[in-house]
Structure formats: structure tokens, C-alpha cells
Amino acid sequence: MIAGVDHVEVAPGRALVESGELVAGSMARSAAGLLFDGAAARVRLDDRLAAWLRRTATAADADLPAPVPRRGRCRAGAALAFAAELSVTRAAQGRSVRSDGFLARGPGDRAPADELAEAVVLAAADTTEEWRVRHLGYLLAEAAVSPDLDAAVVRRGLRLAGELTGRQLVLLAAVGRRERLPLPMAPVPQDPRGWTAWGALEDLTDLQRRGLLDPPPARPRPGGAALPRLRPADLRPTRSGVLVHRLLALDFVRDDAVTAALADLA
């Protein structure tokens, strides 16, 4: 210890959330203070929700499997910081934390919410597309105030999201905000020559094939009749698409990212 300098020990879980500053910016330290020193914070979280995120952070700090690189640890902390951030917003919107047992610990001292949070922390640590981390954290906040979504449905949404490319998530965001940002009326190319347009069309067709967007991909017609031309304006989210969009709070995807993804289809 350096003479005259006091060493302050940081609680393990708090240290994990604060490490998220590398990914989430200074907001991570504010979120850590909110979770681990709520009495000094200007805003408050529901005690049950704060306790859940706090024990998740503490467990993750001790249990992240090796080898998790330093950057992966920071992503895990950032996901929990983002969860706290959106939880404050949801509380301000008047959305109450669910009281149906989702946060209640049962056998093995585990709650359904604990299993979900562990899966989110591992997904955040593992991804290299760090913009996803924000939305993984948002999934925890949304699940905590959504009593109409049981744990199995939330895990299904998380699994579906994990199978999608980043551009597919942005395309889902585009369709979900069609009332605010109208989708293009021009048909998408049927056989694009450029690799970017080809990849974007593959992503879009895969979303249709997986049942996340309607209409489904057009099938060849008898006699070789021409297939109908798909326009982005024709797209609608299916029930599964709505689930992923809602849980990941894709409304928060930046407009410029949406514009770029739609341009890839041109």
C-alpha cells in the first residue's frame, strides 16, 4: 500500500458491474451505485429487482467460467448495468415489477429469474458484437415487468435472438417501427450481384423462413410463373418476431443502423 493512500475494497459484484464501463460508458458506475449503494442514489429500484440483479452480479463475478477474457467480463458487467438502466425507465413509466413468483427463490435457492439472468450474463460475455450487450441487459429489465411472459417464453425469446445475425435484429427493429419510419416501397432485388445486397437478402429470407416476419418466402409456382416481388413495406412481424422485438427492446436500436440495414437490401 502506498503511504497515505487508503485502499478501498470493492464488493465483487459491484466490481463486475463497474467493469462494464469499458462497454457501457460511465453509466455502469452509476448503475453499480444504484444496485450496491441504493440509499445514496437519486433514484431507487424495487427492492426485489435490485436484490436479483445484485445477487446475479455477485454470483457471476465468482462463477464466470474460464477462460473468459477481460473484455468478456466487462460485457457481462455492462449487461447488468443496462438492465438497471432500463429498469429505472420502466419504473418511471409506471410498470411494476412482477409479483408472480418469477423473482422468488425456490428449490436450490434459485428463482426462475436467476436462471434467465445467468443465461444472459453468459451470452453477453460470449458475444463479440458489443452493441448486443445493451439489448441483452434490456431483456432482463423487460422480463422483470412482464407477467404475461413466463420464464419458458422468455428463454425462447433469448434463444431465438441468439440465433440471429446482428443485421437480422436490426431488420426486425426496422419492421417494428414501420409506423414511425415507413419502410421502402421499392421491391428488394431477386438476384443481387453485390455481396452486401446478397447477404442482406439472405438475412431477410432467413427471418421469413424462421417465422419471425410475414409474408413467408415465396415458393416457385407451377409452370414457372413469375414470383411476386417482395417490398420491405409488405413486411410484418409475426408473434415470434414481436416477442424478440419486445424482449430486446429493439425500439432502442439507432435510426442510422436501421437506415443502413435497409440500404443493404437495395
What are the pLDDT digits (tens) for 174-192? Answer: 999 998 889 999 999 888 9
Q: Which helix (H) or strand (E) holds 142?
A: helix 131-144
Is the pLDDT score of 66 beyond 70? no
Q: Are 78 and 24 in contact (CB under 8 A)?
A: yes
Residues in the chain: 266
Query: pLDDT above 70 covers what percent of the chain?
Result: 92
The span from the CA of 110 to the CA of 132, in Å, is: 26
The span from the CA of 172 to the CA of 245, in Å, is: 7
Is the pLDDT score of 64 beyond 80? no
Q: Which stretches does DSSP call E strand in 221-263?
A: 236-237
Which of 23-27, 29-33, 144-148, 227-231 has the lowest average pLDDT? 227-231
Residues 6+ apart with CB under 8 A from 182: 233
pLDDT tens-digit series, residues 95-148: 999 999 999 988 888 999 999 999 999 999 999 999 999 999 999 999 999 999
- Over range 226-250, report the average pLDDT: 93
DSSP state of 194: S
Listed residue (69, 92, 60, 59) closest to 22, CA to CA: 69
Sign of CA dihedral 25, 258, 94, 83: negative
In this prediction, residue 3 has a pLDDT band, given cuts at 50, 70 and 90, of very low
The cell numbers describing 52, all together, are 436479483
Query: pLDDT above 90 covers what percent of the chain?
Result: 78
- Over range 222-240, report the average pLDDT: 83
pLDDT score of 70? 86
Q: Are 176 and 237 in contact (CB under 8 A)?
A: yes
The span from the CA of 236 to the CA of 189, in Å, is: 19
- Over range 195-219, report the average pLDDT: 94
Mean pLDDT (the chain) is 91
pLDDT score of 1? 39
